Amino acid sequence: MKCKKCKQKAVVSGLCKDHFVKSFERRFYDCIAKYKLIKKKDKILVAASGGKDSIVLLYLLSKKYKVKALAIDEGIHGYREQTLKVLKEFCEKNEIELTIKTLKKEFGYSLDQIIKKTKLRACTVCGILRRYLLNKDRSCDVIATGHNLDDEAQSILMNVLKNQIELLARLGPKTGVIPKKIAKKHFIQRIKPMYFIPEREIMAYAVIKKFGVSFTECPYAYDSFRSSVLEGLNLIENKNPGTKMNIVKNFLSELPNLKQKYKQGRVGQCSRCREPANKQLCSACQMADRMKKLLKARKPL
Amino acid sequence: MKIIIKKAGKKEITKKFSGTGKKLLEELKINPEEVLILKNNELVDVDARLTDNDNIEILSVVSGG
Ligand code: SF4
Ligand SMILES: [Zn+2]
Ligand SMILES: [Zn+2]
């Protein structure tokens, strides 16, 4: 098959290497402009894991903006070491400042230790503690994450299938339903510059640019519901190209109404750590208390 | 044809095959939406013709974690 724009061989999405790279980068920066994700003087923190999404995100943002990377080392044996190695090498080569925070140092225990000693679900603990550490970084104006079109289409569909429509209001290229005035103090804007880019194209871009990619998978990655949605969506997309984009576009046209309808009320502060919280304690401090009890540890978490 | 499948680790298989990438994926029961094909280290479209002398890598694009 020939490229749609020239006589070279097409390699992905009907385009040759050169035209694909151009189209990919144009869509990336267009999304930032269209949704006003970044202001000129913004300091950007990239939540990086070393996976292909965060590497491509870091690469394209650092070409035009000032960025720093923050990675959380949860302490997942046989997995995180590998993706962090890729990330460290990438940041060194591209002169990007990288900070790595470990759960062990911040909370006293690695994820592996917590899971071994408690019956808590790995992804629940991991998600809460990771979000907490990201939110704590106040040296930036926005936090960019590597969420792509596939992630978003899956999340939308999952919330619909589980009848959790109110959670839809939290999705979108710019997240947070917290009113602006309060948000400034409590919540740093999250942005998803790869919002409209399919996962397959991100991998193609990483391969063409010869970024190292690690093919390990988190041993705890077992959200069976997300996996079935992912698989089903890919089957439909293969037969009906454009399905994922349709889901996301459809959702975006409804998002203003959803935000209006499910406006989050007043956001308080955690009485212990001053992070945003709906209850007296934020979810991370609650989690820490639960872990402490379960681990019967003398050492405070 | 030597085929390396990279998905959460590496798997290597040898198989007699010539035809398009699409056909190969069909035989391996892999959804083209979830992978990329490298032929002799070069990214190729699923319509590309593969012969028995090629080294093929199939990269999973689905990430976990
Ligand atoms: S799969 Fe779960 S445990 Fe593993 S990194 Fe992702 S959220 Fe954490
Ligand atoms: Zn071209
Ligand atoms: Zn707290």
Which string of DSSP letters, residue by residue, matches B4-55? EEESSSEEEEE----EEHHHHHHHTT--GGGEEEEETTEEE-TTSEE-TT-E
The answer to whether residues B65 and A220 touch, using CB atoms and an 8 Å cutoff, is yes
Question: Does the structure show a pLDDT above 90 at B61?
Answer: yes
On whether residue B35 sits in a domain, the answer given is yes
| Residue A248: HSE in the Cβ half-sphere, 13 Å Cα cutoff | 22
B30 within domain boundaries = yes
Contact (CB, 8 A) for A206 and A213:
yes
Q: Residues B46, B20: contact at Cβ < 8 Å?
A: yes
* Residue B10 domain-assigned (yes or no): no
Q: DSSP assignment, residue B33?
A: G
pLDDT reported for residue A32: 98
pLDDT surpasses 70 at A300? no
| B54 domain residue, yes or no | no
Residues 6+ apart with CB under 8 A from A96: A58, A62, A67, A68, A69, A90
Contact A190, A174 (CB under 8 A): yes
CB pairs under 8 A between A and B: 73
Per-position DSSP letters for A158-173, written without gaps between them: HHHHTT-HHHHTT-SS
Mean predicted lDDT score pLDDT of chain A: 89
Decide if B32 is inside a domain.
yes
Determine contact, residues A103/A110, Cβ cutoff 8 Å: yes
Contact (CB<8Å) B43/A17: yes
Q: Are A74 and A266 in contact (CB under 8 A)?
A: no
pLDDT reported for residue A177: 42
CA dihedral sign, ordered A204, A71, B5, A149: negative
What is the tens place of the pLDDT at every residue in B3-14?
999 988 789 999
In B, minimum Cα distance to A48 occurs at B65
Select the residue from A9, A203, A220, A245 to test the B interface by mutation, using most B Cβ atoms within 10 A. Answer: A203
As a whole number of angstroms, the distance between CA A135 and CA A276 comes to 9
Query: What pLDDT is attached to residue A185?
Result: 60
pLDDT of residue A296: 65
Average pLDDT over residues A71-93: 94
- Cα separation, A93 vs A99, whole angstroms: 15
- Give the helix ranges, DSSP H, for chain A: 17-34, 52-64, 80-93, 103-107, 111-117, 122-136, 149-161, 165-168, 180-186, 199-208, 224-239, 243-261, 283-295
pLDDT band at B48 (very low <50, low <70, confident <90, very high): very high
- Span A268-291, mean pLDDT? 81
Q: Are A25 and A175 in contact (CB under 8 A)?
A: no
pLDDT of residue A284: 84
Asked if the model's pLDDT at residue A295 lies above 80, the reply is no
CB of A123 sitting under 6 A from ligand 1? yes
Place of tokens 């499910």: A262
Residue B28: domain span: 19-44
How far is the alpha carbon of B54 from chain A, nearest alpha carbon, in Å? 17
Contact list in A for residue B10 (CB cut-off 8 A) is 215
Domain assignment of residue B34, yes or no: yes
Ligand nearest to the CA of A14: 2
Q: Do B36 and A234 touch (CB under 8 A)?
A: no
Of A31-45, A109-123, A257-271, B48-62, minimum mean pLDDT range: A257-271
Write down the pLDDT at residue A283: 84
**Helix (H) / strand (E) containing B23:** helix B21-27
Mean pLDDT, rounded, for A121-131: 89
Percentage with pLDDT > 70 across chain A? 92
Is B24 a member of any domain? yes
Each residue's pLDDT tens digit, A173-208: 998 545 455 555 656 789 999 999 999 999 999 999
d(CA A120, CA A292): 12
Q: Is the CB of A221 under 6 A from ligand 1?
A: yes
Which of A52, A207, A208 shows the shortest C-beta gap to B63? A52
Binding site membership of B63 for ligand 1 (Cβ less than 6 Å): no
As beta bridge partners, residue A73 has A102
Q: In what order do the strands lie in the sheet with B2-6?
A: B10-14, B2-6, B55-60, B35-39, B42-44
Q: What is the pLDDT of residue A179?
A: 46
Contact predicate A148/A197, CB 8 Å: yes
In chain A, % of residues over pLDDT 90: 61
Q: Are B62 and A232 in contact (CB under 8 A)?
A: no
Q: What is the pLDDT of residue B53?
A: 93
Partners of A9 on chain B (C-beta within 8 Å) are 44-45, 48
Provide the domain count of chain B.
Answer: 1
Show the CA angle centred on residue B55, arms to residues B54 and B59, nearest 5°.
Answer: 130
**Whole-angstrom distance, CA of residue A299 vs CA of residue B12:** 47
The reported pLDDT for the residue numbered A251 is 97
Question: Is the CB of A65 within 6 Å of ligand 1?
Answer: no
